[in-house]
Amino acid sequence: MRNYLLLGAFLLLCFGCGDTAVTQQKEAHSYFDLKGYFAGEATRLSRQKPRIHKTVLVNDSTESKDLVIQDWPKELSIFSDADLNKSAWKGLFQVKKTDTTELYTSDNKKVPVKELKVIKRNGQVYGLQILICNANTLYTSSDTLSYFPDSLYDVKKNQHIRLLAEKNYRITGKFK
């Protein structure tokens, strides 16, 4: 009986470890790793604590402040939420790469992220531009997101809900 328990424990241990090649394949990204990029940026900016001149515009009302962002993961979440590497979206983007740009586009109705443009200089990310569109019978919205490390981030949102007035939002953060 003891031998059967030892054999069972051994087999469980062997099969429980799994194949690392399969694990690595699941973790591989087909497209630019937006989520990973912004996780790194949030960590870097949390350490550096840069001062930001932040402007929020809602329709015709504007408010500006100089501040130090306390929660960079939350501040940049709209960018990382546009991650292209969702398993349901695999194969739904066209990719065009040059030395200075990577362009990911999709015209699939199920994918709200329509475009991601990665601009590079000297092999490093210089800027990111993202276009997100959502539409159904009651609601349409379009978001244009721009991020330039240590310079600027900008979120423009236009939304229209049927029978209500159109709303325009813009959040701009300029690094000081």
- Per-residue pLDDT of 129-159, as tens digits, reads 999 999 888 989 999 999 999 999 999 999 9
Q: What is the pLDDT of residues 34-87, one digit of tens each?
A: 999 999 999 999 999 999 999 999 998 999 999 999 999 999 999 999 999 999
Q: What is the pTM assigned to this prediction?
A: 0.81
Query: What pLDDT is attached to residue 19?
Result: 46
- Name 26's Cβ contacts closer than 8 Å, sequence gap at least 6: none
Query: Which of these, 137, 135, 130, lies nearest to 155 by C-alpha position?
Result: 130
d(CA 49, CA 68) in angstroms, rounded, equals 6
What's the chain's average pLDDT? Answer: 87
- Name 11's Cβ contacts closer than 8 Å, sequence gap at least 6: none
Contact 66, 111 (CB under 8 A): no
> For residue 30, what pLDDT band results from cuts at 50, 70 and 90?
confident
